[in-house]
Amino acid sequence: MCGRWLAQVRINFVNNWIHIGIWAAVIGAVFGYLWWQGQVQRLAAYVAETREELKKCAWPSWEELKGSTALIIIMVALLGGFVVAIDAILYHTAFNAFALAAVMLVGYAGWLVIQSKRQ
């Protein structure tokens, strides 16, 4: 029993390494092709240009960032509360309207039964 299990573990281990090797070869081939086409250099130039542009940006100070974050958290909480309140109001309004309609329908059915027995 233990020998079969150990053999299965070895097979799985080898299969896993074979899969890793195949994927490494595929990724290496794709990278080599892109390098040959000059795409890697274009990507490096794009990243360098992006970094230069980001250095030109005006970033907020720590205090501005904390204030904006607090404002966003408060506004999201208020909006969430508003949505919950409106949802509850509409749910209860619709539920009460359906309940009223059901009671009226049952009452009308009962009235019809009574009228049919009188005749």
pLDDT digits (tens, 9 = 90+) for 42-98: 989 999 999 999 999 998 999 999 999 999 999 999 999 999 999 988 888 777 777
Of 39, 57, 75, which residue constitutes the final position of a domain? 57
pLDDT surpassing 70 at residue 6: no
The dihedral through the CA atoms of 20, 23, 29, 34 has a sign that is negative
Same domain, 116 and 68: yes
d(CA 96, CA 93): 5
Q: Report pLDDT digits (tens) over 63-77.
A: 999 999 999 999 999
Q: Which amino acid is it at 4?
A: R
Of 57, 73, 95, which residue constitutes the final position of a domain? 57
pLDDT band at residue 2 under the 50/70/90 scheme: low
Question: Domain range holding 31?
Answer: 1-57
Q: Which of 37, 35, 58, 39 is nearest to 47 (CA)?
A: 39
